[in-house]
């Protein structure tokens, strides 16, 4: 049967191609096409919604898969950009730290321990932070802490792997400071609750203090007691000086150089010259 059908098909095909357009086989073909053409058109219209639905599902699943891939790629790129921005920010802070040492040769007498801030004061007083280095890195109590902009505070408590830094905005902290280049010396204390404002106290009304003058640690010592901080570390800039009408001392406002709310990296000044009266 199969062989017979194949032979018959070959004979019909050969006859179809060899005969003229007006031949019987061509006439039969046109007749069949005329009869079944409406049926094919009806079937085409009937099946079109089904075919469109199938195509819609295929395209939807393909698009969903592509969207998932695109989202994953965007997330990966976002992570890479964030990492690069974070690394760039860290590098900028490290450059500032190195610059502070270069600009203050006296700091060369100290061993500098770089640490990251890992905890912050939960109150509005901005009084302390915790860093990820401790006694195992050579840090001791009362060691001075700086960042690339200036004075940050000092070490008040520590473990082998962490240390607590009392910021210069803590109400228990006081910094002996001098108005540069050769101005008077006073005590810098915090304006409670405002980490962007310090007060320079004990400046007589007859002293001339100008806006934008720089303050640095005085670092005094009389051989028996010493300032808690070594000399020459930048603290801040005078933002306002008010003469007190009924008091002896001016009210001098100082904006700290270090942004104490956004600390990420700091350096602890370890070792260095002995400071009489300052426990280590």
Q: What is the mean pLDDT of residues 180-184?
A: 87
What is the structure's pLDDT at 34? 62
Q: Over the stretch 70-104, which tens digit does the pLDDT of each residue have?
A: 777 777 776 665 555 554 545 555 555 555 666 66
How open is the CA angle 207-232-101, to the nearest 5 degrees? 150
Q: Give pLDDT tens digits for 212-243.
A: 999 999 887 777 787 889 888 999 999 998 87
What pLDDT score was predicted for residue 44?
59
**Confidence (pLDDT) at 253:** 92
CB 173 within 8 A of CB 153: yes
The predicted pLDDT at position 87 comes to: 46
Q: Which two tokens stand for residue 267?
A: 């350096």
The pLDDT assigned to 160 comes to 94
Q: Which of 101-115, 158-172, 180-194, 246-260 has the highest mean pLDDT?
A: 158-172
13: Cα separation from own chain's centroid: 78
Q: Which residue has the higher pLDDT, 49 or 259?
A: 259
Higher pLDDT: 232 or 68? It is: 232
Question: Which pLDDT tens digit goes with each residue over 117-170?
Answer: 999 877 655 688 999 999 999 999 999 999 988 999 999 999 999 999 999 988
Q: Which residues contact 261 (CB under 8 A, 6 or more apart)?
A: 126, 195
182-207: average pLDDT: 85
Indicate the pTM of the whole model: 0.63
Torsion of CA 181, 187, 189, 191, to 10 degrees: -70
Residue with tokens 């005590």: 187
Homologous superfamily assigned to 111-270: Rod shape-determining protein MreC, domain 1 (2.40.10.340)
Asked whether 262 and 122 are in contact (CB, 8 A), the reply is no
Q: Does residue 161 contact residue 133 with C-beta atoms inside 8 Å?
A: yes
Rounded CA gap, 175 and 217, in Å? 7
- Report pLDDT digits (tens) over 19-60: 666 666 656 666 655 665 565 555 556 656 766 667 666 677
Domain boundaries, the chain: 19-103, 111-270
């Amino acid at each position: 049967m199969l062989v017979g059908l194949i032979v018959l098909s070959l004979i019909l095909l050969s006859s179809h191609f060899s005969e003229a357009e007006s031949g019987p086989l061509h006439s039969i073909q046109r007749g069949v096409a005329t009869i079944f053409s409406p049926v094919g058109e009806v079937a085409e219209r009937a099946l079109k919604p089904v075919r469109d639905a199938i195509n819609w599902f295929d395209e939807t699943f393909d698009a969903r898969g592509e969207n998932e891939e695109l989202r994953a790629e965007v997330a990966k790129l976002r992570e890479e950009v964030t990492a690069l921005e974070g690394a760039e920010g860290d590098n900028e802070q490290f450059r500032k730290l190195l610059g502070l040492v270069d600009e203050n040769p006296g700091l060369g007498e100290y061993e500098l321990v770089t640490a990251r801030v890992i905890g912050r004061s939960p109150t509005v007083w901005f009084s302390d932070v915790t860093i990820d280095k401790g006694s195992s890195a050579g840090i001791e109590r009362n060691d001075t802490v700086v960042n690339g902009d200036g004075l940050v505070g000092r070490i008040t408590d520590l473990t082998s792997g962490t240390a607590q830094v009392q910021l210069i905005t803590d109400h228990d902290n006081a910094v002996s400071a001098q108005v540069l280049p050769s101005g008077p010396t006073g005590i810098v204390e915090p304006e409670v609750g405002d980490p962007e404002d310090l007060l320079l106290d004990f400046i007589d009304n007859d002293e001339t203090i100008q806006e934008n003058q720089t303050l640095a640690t005085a670092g005094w010592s009389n051989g028996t007691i010493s300032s808690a901080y070594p000399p020459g570390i930048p603290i801040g800039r005078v933002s306002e000086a008010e003469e007190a009408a009924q008091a002896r001392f001016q009210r001098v406002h100082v904006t700290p150089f270090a942004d104490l709310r956004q600390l990420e990296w700091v350096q602890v000044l370890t070792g260095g010259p002995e400071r009489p009266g300052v426990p280590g």
